[in-house]
């Protein structure tokens, strides 16, 4: 059981926030394969203070998406609190504060991962948000700004403050901000963190790609849960596979070609409800590039989907490559 405040999940494997990916389509498909909690991609606090935003199809939370977390990015406690209030009001069940983003333009503005150097400032933001919304509030962290002693101290100081002041959960990506995606994620720190603050909900993140390895990282770290990120792009069935490993099944779920095709088609169809057709076709390419990796004709499939320009051609290609009935 994974507890995030008053939200209790039977399944400890959740879907991470993935900017540019984790919109309704990716989230609905994760749920289809047993994932019980998903997150929006990160939103800038000032954007989430602009209420007309929530009238756009991509920001409307339907009944089939609960529980769902919204992730926000910013430095001003007041603006972060207003953003959190708006997001909770439109249906998000959890607020996740991003203090891990390593993207240069975010860092330059003093947002995201930079704040790891100011634990007191993070707690100021957390306290203001927590006092404003009536739902669980979590934080997404990296393990420090860099590998320096000072950075490590800031990280442990922050975690101690978070535990003391009742943060509802930490999602910890086991890399420093400076590392971005280089080198292996450090799961030892996640293990130490859970050992040190055993009552705080800790969710591990980093290099979660293969079901058996994911279960191994989950169990050996002692974390309460793990958040799948890149490993779920174009592979929503990974949640069913992880469940099989967790349950000790000998046969791990493998999606047949037809099922893969149905998923691809459903993904595209949900996108058409969210965006105009031009955006859908271009945007869908990066998902197809990942979906194609599970197909026996990876290269041919990828090549064809990368050049498609119309809805009709896209649907025909899905039917053809995945042996779907027209
Ligand atoms: C394309 C992309 C977008 C991401 N967007 C976010 C985001 O919006 N918020 C966030 O907290 N982390 C974000 N992350 C980080 C992931 O949630 C995760 O912590 C990281 O990818 C490590 O997990 P992995 O190695 O299993 O992919 C993003 C990662 C990628 C690759």
DSSP string across 278-313 = HHHHHHHHHHHHHHGGGSTTHHHHHHHHHH--SHHH
pLDDT of residue 326: 73
Say what percent of the chain tops pLDDT 90. 98
Three-state DSSP at 143 gives: coil
Of 16, 44, 111, 218, the residue with max ligand 1 atoms within 8 A of its CB, to mutate for a pocket test, comes to 16
Q: What is the CATH number of domain 2-246?
A: 3.20.20.70
pLDDT digit string, tens, across residues 238-290: 999 999 999 999 999 999 999 999 999 999 999 999 999 999 999 999 999 99
Of 13, 15, 18, 169, the residue with max ligand 1 atoms within 8 A of its CB, to mutate for a pocket test, comes to 18
Residue 13 belongs to what H/E stretch?
strand 13-15
Q: Look at residue 94 and tell me whether its pLDDT is greater than 80.
A: yes
Determine contact, residues 135/95, Cβ cutoff 8 Å: yes
pLDDT of residue 45: 98
Three-state DSSP at 253 gives: coil
Q: How far is the CA of 181 from the centre of ligand 1 (A)?
A: 9
- The pTM score is 0.97
Give the integer Cα–Cα distance in Å for 35 and 207: 18
Output the six-digit token pair for 249: 């099944």
**Closest protein CA for atom 4 of ligand 1:** 18
Residue 97 pairs in a beta bridge with 72, 139
Three-state SS annotation for 203-244: EEECCCCCHHHHHHHHHHHCCCEEEECHHHCCCCCHHHHHHH
Domain ranges within the chain, ordered by starting residue = 2-246, 257-321
**Cα dihedral: 207, 215, 154, 93 (round 10):** 100
């Amino acid at each position: 059981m994974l507890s995030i405040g008053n939200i209790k999940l039977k399944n400890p494997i959740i879907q991470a926030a993935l900017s540019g990916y984790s919109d309704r389509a990716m989230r609905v498909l994760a749920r289809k394969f047993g994932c019980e909690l998903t997150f929006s991609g990160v939103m800038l606090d000032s954007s989430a203070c602009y209420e007309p935003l929530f009238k756009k199809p991509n920001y409307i939370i339907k009944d089939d998406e609960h529980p769902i977390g919204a992730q926000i990015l910013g430095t001003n406690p007041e603006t972060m609190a207003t953003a959190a209030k708006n997001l909770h009001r439109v249906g998000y069940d959890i607020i996740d504060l991003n203090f891990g983003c390593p993207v240069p333009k975010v860092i330059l503005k003093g947002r995201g991962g930079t704040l790891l150097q100011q634990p007191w400032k993070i707690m100021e933001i957390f306290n203001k948000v927590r006092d404003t919304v009536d739902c669980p509030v979590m934080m997404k962290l990296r393990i420090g700004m860099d590998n320096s002693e000072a950075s490590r101290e800031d990280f442990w100081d922050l975690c101690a403050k978070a535990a003391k002041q009742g943060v509802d959960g930490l999602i910890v990506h086991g890399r420093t901000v400076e590392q971005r995606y280089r080198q292996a994620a450090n799961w030892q720190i996640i293990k130490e963190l859970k050992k040190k603050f055993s009552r705080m909900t800790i969710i591990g993140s980093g290099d979660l790609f293969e079901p058996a390895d994911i279960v191994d990282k989950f169990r050996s770290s002692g974390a309460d849960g793990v958040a799948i990120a890149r490993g779920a792009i174009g592979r929503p069935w990974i949640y069913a596979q992880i469940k099989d490993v967790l349950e000790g099944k000998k046969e791990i779920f493998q999606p047949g070609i037809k099922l893969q095709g149905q998923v691809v088609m459903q993904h595209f169809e949900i996108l058409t409800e969210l965006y105009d057709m031009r955006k859908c076709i271009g945007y869908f390419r990066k998902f197809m590039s990942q979906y194609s990796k599970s197909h026996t004709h990876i290269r041919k499939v990828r090549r064809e989907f990368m050049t498609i320009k119309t809805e009709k051609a896209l649907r025909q290609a899905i039917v053809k490559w995945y042996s779907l009935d027209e």
